[in-house]
Structure 1
Amino acid sequence: MLTRRAAMMGAAGIAALPVLAKAAKAEEIMDTSMAAPADLSSLKRIKRKLVRPPMVHEHEQEAPAEPRIVEFEMQIVEKEIEVDDGAYLQAMTFNGSVPGPMMVVHEGDYVELTLYNSPENLLQHNIDFHSATGALGGGSLTLINPGEKTTLRFKATRPGTFVYHCAPGGPMIPWHVVSGMSGCIMVLPRGGLTDHKGDPVRYDRVFYIGENDFYIPKDENGDYKRFEDVAESYPDTLEVMNGLIPSHVVFNGKVGSLTGDNALHAAQGEKILFVHSQANRDTRPHLIGGHGDLVWERGKFNNTPQRDLETWFIAGGSAGAALYEFLQPGVYAYVNHNLIEAVNLGATAHVVVEGDWNNDLMEQVQAPVEYNAAYEGKTALP
């Protein structure tokens, strides 16, 4: 149903009302009230407090003997964010961040999420977990109006990294996704990760990189438009979206979100698990100066990881994982290796690694000096 608040939107928003009204179905709400309730009373409950990406909440790498019900709470927030200097997006977010926070559970656990749609919001929202089974990934059971909340529980039956996103139905689905409403859940095997030989693998920390393509309209002068609210932005944004050419391709919500003062930090010898999601477009991560020691390219831990990859592929609508042990200090650039998107549109992160340089791995044999071009270097010519 169209909310009262949406019905009172301004003139620009009114142009979007017919589309909003059609979309407010979550592709038909399912009635599961006749199904027998699951008796999980014997299971232990734990609460996890979500944290802002690229960090990930506290979790065990190996699960206890018995499955648990893992409780999360998440708030949907519509708000304006600055994607780049002078470029503002009327964003839709899970927990106020783009991407939404990463959740971690173990295979066999139950995920129990209470989802809140803030009263200040204009639109209906829901959540579709690619890791869940049934009911459009939970989308048809979680559609809520502003000022409403709902609780969904599902069993995490498949280990891996998976995307979640908003999917309220029809043309609302791509709009909500490219406005920031996506995130990631990692379902670890109960015994933890294993390598290509089946031996246990541990990581020192997780960095969660959520990649987004944004479609911010421009005016007749070529300047980015700015809108009063998310509904007003819809008609112009839809036109840009349908052209399939993003104005920005960024990590974690904005240009420079993970560079400079916001760079990631690690220590020499640390093993970092990079989890990378893209809910809409294909991408190909690359760590300049490093590698993927072990890569679950499609993010599924039942599959044997690939080894020693220079660049790996993340299909649109999926999340992948790559483990790397940093052997040298320095600043590493983690990029989408479509270098146009990395350098010109924003898809770059930096990892600053502290430690002692190892000349056996790389050494500058001679610092740059001038040479006599008339005599030297001739053998380098074709």
Structure 2
Amino acid sequence: MLTRRAALIGAAGVAAAPILAKAAKADEIMDTSMAESVDLSKLKRVKHRLVRPPMVHDHEQTAPAEPRIVEFEMQIVEKEVEVDSGAYLQAMTFNGSIPGPLMVVHEGDYVELTLYNSPENMMQHNIDFHASTGALGGGSLTLVNPGEKTTLRFKATRAGTFVYHCAPGGPMIPWHVVSGMSGAIMVLPRDGLKDDRGNPVSYDKVFYIGENDFYIPKDENGDYKRFSDVGESYPDTLEVMNGLIPSHVVFNGKVGSLTGDGALHANQGEKVLFVHSQANRDSRPHLIGGHGDLVWETGKFANPPERDLETWFIRGGSAGAMLYEFLQPGVYAYVNHNLIEAVNLGATAHVVVEGTWNNDLMEQVQAPTEYDAAYEGKTALP
């Protein structure tokens, strides 16, 4: 059932040989040529162009009765990314972004992805869809060398939010994931989302937040090291990775990516669906100033959502979804509520909401002012 293929091609392969030698079975692929063919010629084809997170490509919240073949294209890009001031990551990415783009289909649809490994890359890559069935999530059918492409089709049999990531084999798997190679796919029920009582639910917009832990090595002076290419970065990065203490925990690729000029925007009264993925470590999302009106903590839409959560849990290697209607204007902080990781390591986003303040929900009865401590405040003590 398993066959061997050439691991390396061209100059890029020669340069990457010492690294690829560590991937014990990265070049094993599954031979499915003897399987019975499936005739999908009568199904309608729909093609979506993926967009950079936190935005999401246009899609329908409910689908027609008949399943469709939904086509995507994605290019693998290896590049240097400045994660924070003076901290550079030799990144491996899907479509040049960290995280990779969010794909949206409906339960029963067929996902057809053409994956390109750019010829200027050094490494073998593939894609493992947690939403799919068999062949290591498609990983053993999609292993591509630099300069190669492949097309994978799988049936989306389960509704929910799911992680995808690169998994080329052996020690390459965690390295590729913590170098940026993860994303998510959302499989909506054909008739759309439902609340905990079975009532239809819709959203006005989607924000996709991919959380990553990075392990950037430091030199003897405590300064972050910078490497000439992804292969050179491996030995030192591996040492930091195996210590299990990240140098950075960030949303969407770098510290501050979703604050300041990159902040998310919404209007008072809008219902926003937040999709949050973490391919490697557990996380605890929290919206400061708001709540999870409906939370699919495990991300699976066949299960009823929980209501009114303050903080929810995203297991490492999974994606979840939360729906919130913004009731007040202002700046909301969306954080990993391990506050050390949020504040000190970078896992913070801001949502700027336009609207009119509602004093019934919250009112500053008295602005801060000095008081006479000799007479006032005594009754506050037990």
Q: CA deviation at 1:379?
A: 1.2
How far apart are the structure 1 equivalents of 2:254 and 2:197? 39
Question: Aligned Cα RMSD in Å?
Answer: 1.0
**1:110 is matched with which residue?**
110
Q: Is the 8 A contact 1:75 1:115 kept in 2?
A: yes
Distance in 2 (CA, whole Å) between partners of 1:196 and 1:286 is 20
- Tell me, in whole angstroms, the C-alpha distance in 1 between the residues paired with 2:18 and 2:72: 36
- Structure 1 distance, partners of 2:234, 2:200, is 48
Amino acid in structure 2 at the alignment position of 1:4: G
Amino acid at match of 1:145: N
Amino acid at match of 1:126: N
Residues 32-54 of structure 1: per-residue CA shift (max 9 Å, x gap): 00011110000000100000000
Q: Write the deviation string for residues 53-87 of structure 1: whole angstroms up to 9, x where unpaired.
A: 00000000000121100000000000000000000
Report SS of the residue matched to 1:16: helix
Shift of 1:6: 4.5
Equivalent position of 1:36 in the other structure: 36
- What is residue 19 of structure 2 aligned with on the other side? 16
- Give the secondary structure class of the aligned counterpart of 1:353: strand
Pairs within 5 Å for 1:312-351: 312-351=312-351
Aligned counterparts of 1:120 and 1:150: Cα–Cα separation in 2: 17
SS of equivalent residue, structure 2 residue 32: coil
Paired residues of 1:284 and 1:312 also in contact (CA < 8 A): yes
Separation (CA, whole Å) in 2 of partners of 1:204 and 1:239 = 44
Q: What is residue 250 of structure 1 aligned with on the other side?
A: 250
- Tell me the SS of whatever aligns to 1:59: coil
Partner of 1:2: 8
Which residue identity lines up with residue 19 of structure 1 in the other structure?
K
Structure 1 CA distance, aligned partners of 2:217 and 2:92?
A: 16
What do residues 241-277 of structure 1 show as CA deviations (whole Å, max 9, x unaligned)?
A: 0000000000000000000111000000000000000
Contact 1:287 1:332 in 2 (8 A): yes
Q: Does structure 2 retain, via aligned residues, the 8 Å contact 1:16–1:235?
A: no
Q: Which amino acid aligns with 2:261?
A: D
State yes or no: 1:287 paired with 2:256.
no
What is the match of residue 307 of structure 2? 307
Superposed counterparts of 1:160-175, under 5 Å = 160-175=160-175
SS in 2 for 1:328: coil
TM-score, normalization: structure 1? 0.97
Structure 1 residues 106-144: Cα deviation after superposition (integer angstroms, max 9, x where no partner): 000000000000000000000000000010000000000
Alpha carbons 1:3, 1:122 under 8 Å: kept: no
Q: Distance in 1 between matches of 2:188 and 2:341?
A: 31
* Within-5 A mapping of 1:236-275: 236-275=236-275
What is residue 82 of structure 1 aligned with on the other side? 82
Contact 1:131 1:162 in 2 (8 A): yes
1:192 CA drift (Å): 0.2
Indicate yes or no: 2:361 matched with 1:358: no
Please say if residues 13 and 146 of structure 2, whose CA atoms lie closer than 8 Å, have aligned partners that are also in contact: no
Kindly state the Cα deviation for residue 2 of structure 1 after the two structures are TM-superposed. Answer: 3.1
SS for the counterpart of 2:30 is coil
| 1:7-52 alpha-carbon deviations (Å, 9 max, x no partner) | 542xxx67535314x3533xx3111000111100000001000000
Letter in 1 for 2:295: V
| 1:195-222 deviation per Cα after TM superposition (whole angstroms, max 9, x unaligned) | 0110000000000000000000000000
1:369 deviation in Å?
A: 0.5
SS at match of 1:29: strand
Distance in 2 (CA, whole Å) between partners of 1:2 and 1:144 is: 10
After superposition, the C-alpha distances for 1:322-381 in whole angstroms (9 at most, x for unaligned) are 000000000000000000000000000000000000000000000000000111001112
Check the 8 A contact 1:15/1:235 in 2, yes or no. no
Q: Secondary structure at the match of 1:123?
A: coil
- SS of the aligned residue for 1:50 comes to coil
Q: Within 5 A, what are the aligned runs for 1:144-223?
A: 144-223=144-223
CA distance in 2, matches of 1:332, 1:7: 47
Aligned residues of 2:12 and 2:146 also touching (Cα < 8 A): no
- Percent identity over the alignment? 84
Q: 3-state DSSP class of the match of 2:253?
A: coil
| 1:128 aligned residue | 128
8 A Cα contact 1:23 1:172, kept in partner: no
Residues of 2 paired with 1:277 and 1:94: CA distance?
15
The aligned residue for residue 230 of structure 1 is: 230
Verify the 8 A CA contact 2:54 2:209 in the aligned structure 1.
Answer: yes
Counterpart of 1:55?
Answer: 55
Q: Is the 8 A contact 2:258 2:350 kept in 1?
A: yes
Q: How far apart in 1 are the matches of 2:260 and 2:320? A: 25
Kept after mapping to 1: 8 A contact 2:8/2:17: no
| Separation (CA, whole Å) in 2 of partners of 1:17 and 1:111 | 29
How far, CA to CA, are the matches of 2:26 and 2:157 in structure 1? 30
Structure 1 stretches of 4+ with a deviation exceeding 6 A read none
Structure 1 regions of 5+ residues with no counterpart?
A: none
SS at match of 1:19: coil
Query: How high is the TM-score relative to the length of structure 2?
Result: 0.97
Distance 1:8 1:221 in 2: 33
Cα shift readout 1:271-301 (whole Å, capped 9, x = no counterpart): 0000000000000000000000000000000
Q: Kindly state the Cα deviation for residue 3 of structure 1 after the two structures are TM-superposed.
A: 3.7
